[in-house]
Homo-oligomer: A and B are copies of this chain.
């Protein structure tokens, strides 16, 4: 940033459980100006503020960020420059065209470029999945938009349970680093973000030089356990306990699928430790918990299938790694996703011709 004395300006895009809790952490530390894009709850939050019941901060009432916008376009038209665009929306590249991350944040990137052309726009993707930065790099030339892409991997267990009401069950643990480990601007911006995000004794945030590895680590859970729970509509511990002799799910689905993720990561130069498998299985056995895709499908909402399963399966194919278990899980998830799409009119099937109607 070329105006170090000013507080940086952060725009959080996405006001679900993760987005609101993230915006609150930034606001609480007081080192940045915090704006939030709130789509559905806008009127409610303008009037009442947020209620945040947080593992890290206790019960927070009537909280509002510095600025509220109903849309990204609104934020873009505000005349403000945003040093950090923190993206916490669900990443569904196969959904509707205007729902892709690049299209959601496009107006902000355009306005940032107009307002102050020599400042860097840092985009921090606090999202699941692998290769999620590639969509942005295809859509926006880094040099032209002066972009710096940061990767955020978060554990938080935060959910919106009503209009303007957020329940954060876990400690916020956020790892931030550059997508490109050789990008010095991104490294500096990641360090800076850690400092403006930290609330000592409450949340946990760390600069992560190996955030790609951290991302693959989390994928070990999401591609396997998250997918399986979504397919069968059961929480994690039931999936584990309901397997043949209480071991079937673990031995026949989860461990083989996790080993496949480790093999794919290895061909990308990332070493994911085998012990992570035991760790995730063990965590899974300790809590009645339905992961994100399981909840999404129950609510008939689109799931992050492509970034969580599609991208690793495509990397496997490119790198010649056999992933029979993930392939079946991915194919089944594709069908569940299509079922949601059909119900939302994003996909049409003609019962006369018995064909999918291509858009």
Q: Is A292 an interface residue (CB 8 A)?
A: no
Whether A234 touches B354, Cβ cut-off 8 Å, given contacts A252-B327, A328-B325, A334-B248, is no
Closest to A229 in B: B335
Whether A331 touches B249, Cβ cut-off 8 Å, given contacts A286-B354, A339-B233, A339-B234, is yes
Q: Is A119 an interface residue (CB 8 A)?
A: no
Q: Is the CB of B338 within 8 A of A242?
A: yes
Q: What are the interface flags for A219-236 relative to B under an 8 Å C-beta threshold, 1 for contact and 0 otherwise?
A: 000000000100111100
Q: Is the CB of A241 within 8 A of B331?
A: no
Q: How large is the interface on A (under 10, 10 to 19, 20 to 34, 35 or more residues)?
A: 35 or more
Q: Is A355 an interface residue (CB 8 A)?
A: yes
A248-B334, A249-B331, A286-B354 are known; give 15 further A-B pairs, CB within 8 A. A228-B332, A231-B231, A232-B332, A232-B336, A232-B339, A238-B342, A242-B356, A249-B334, A249-B335, A252-B330, A253-B328, A324-B325, A325-B328, A328-B328, A328-B329
Residue from the list B239, B253, B329, B355 in contact with A241, Cβ < 8 A: B355
5 A–B contacts, CB within 8 A, in A order: A228-B332, A238-B349, A246-B356, A252-B330, A252-B331
Q: Is the CB of B253 within 8 A of A332?
A: yes
Q: Is A344 an interface residue (CB 8 A)?
A: no
A-to-B contact residues, CB < 8 Å: 228, 231-234, 237-239, 241-244, 246, 248-249, 252-253, 256, 285-288, 324-325, 327-332, 334-336, 338-339, 342, 347, 349, 351, 354-356
How distant is the Cα of A232 from the Cα of B330 in the complex, in angstroms?
Answer: 12
Q: Is the CB of A242 within 8 A of B339?
A: yes
Closest to A242 in B: B338
Copy total for this chain? 2
CB distance from A17 to the nearest CB of B (A): 23
Q: Is the CB of A253 within 8 A of B331?
A: yes
**Residue of A233, A249, A328, A347 contacting most chain B CB atoms (<10 Å):** A328
Question: Which residues of the other chain, B, contact A234 by a CB distance below 8 angstroms?
Answer: 335, 338-339
Closest to A237 in B: B354
How distant is the Cα of A241 from the Cα of B334 in the complex, in angstroms?
Answer: 11
Closest to A244 in B: B334
Question: Which residues of the other chain, B, contact A253 by a CB distance below 8 angstroms?
Answer: 328, 331-332
Question: Which residues of the other chain, B, contact A329 by a CB distance below 8 angstroms?
Answer: 328
How distant is the Cα of A238 from the Cα of B242 in the complex, in angstroms?
Answer: 29
Question: Which residues of the other chain, B, contact A243 by a CB distance below 8 angstroms?
Answer: 331, 334-335
